[in-house]
Chain A
Amino acid sequence: MAEKTTQARVEEVQSASGAPVTVLRYTGDITSASKAAVLGTYQGLPAGTKRILLDFSGVDYLNSSGIALVIQLMIAASKGGQIVQTFGLKPHFIKVFTMVGLTRYTTLHPDEKTACAAFTA
């Protein structure tokens, strides 16, 4: 059984204050096979990217290896002084992200509008 390949699409939107926000929209499964989609896509963002929004609304299956990739993305973003907001997680994965403590480093928003509004700077 093949895993559903992870797809990552990059879009730019604006925060409530008009600042640019880079959205990484994921679809498919996020597992150990998703390194290129999760980290590769992040690493390909232009220098100077400050606000990153992770959109998981197209993700049905996310396992601990996939969460580890998200953590690696968060580590890199933290080192680069970037702010990461998150939305679109299914309720079960909100629970899992909270259990492993990721909510200490990113806020999990119910929708894109709320997430964009959270970029205050």
Chain B
Amino acid sequence: MDDDARKSIELQLPTRLGFEKVAMNTAESVARMMGFADERIEDLKTAIAEACINAMEHGNKLDETLSVGVVLSMDADKLEVKVHDKGSGPQAHTAAPDIDKKMHEEEGARGMGMFLIESLVDEVEWVSSPRSGSYARMVIRLHPNEEAEAIVLEQKDAETRE
């Protein structure tokens, strides 16, 4: 794919549980065309599914008159996905689930979606915009290790120069 040829695909999903699979399947096709490995594609599918479910349940409060927007933007080395809803965004950062607390019923069995998203993609942000709606932005990179190594090398280079 040409570096300058950034391309986007947009979906509008009904706010109805189950339709997140349309976004998953689209993302799978796009990621496969871009050359992502199967394991990364599965990570992406789960992250997108959880973001869409959050948007439907918490953002749009299961109001079927509202839709969930999904925008997939392809770059040469990464795929960015934004999932939009009409809510005001997450109220607070969700802590990692504590399975011991769940098993002892000290915290609810649910509440793992944001944790899974954060764990499965390379970059994530939650943008709250009460007036125009909110979105989750996720990025997966084709070569995440190479980028991380490049950052470490740059840091070492900078330290050497000092």
Q: A residues bordering B, Cβ < 8 Å?
A: 1-3, 31-33, 61, 63-65, 67-69, 71-72, 74-75, 78, 90-92, 96, 99-102, 104-105
Contact = CB atoms under 8 A, between A and B. Distances in A.
Interface of B: 17-22, 39, 42-43, 46, 49-50, 53, 97-100, 102-103, 105, 108-113, 115-116, 119
B17 A33 contact: yes
A71 B49 contact: no
Contact of B103 (A2, A33, A63, A71): A71
A32 B17 contact: yes
B19 A104 contact: no
Q: Interface SS of chain B: helix, strand, loop or mixed?
A: helix
Nearest to A32: B17
> 10 closest pairs, A vs B, by CB?
A101-B99, A92-B42, A68-B109, A3-B18, A68-B110, A64-B112, A71-B109, A64-B113, A72-B109, A1-B18
A67 B112 contact: yes
Contacts of A69: 109
Contacts of A90: 42
Contact of B22 (A1, A33, A92): A1
7 contacts: A67-B112, A68-B108, A75-B103, A75-B105, A91-B39, A100-B99, A101-B97
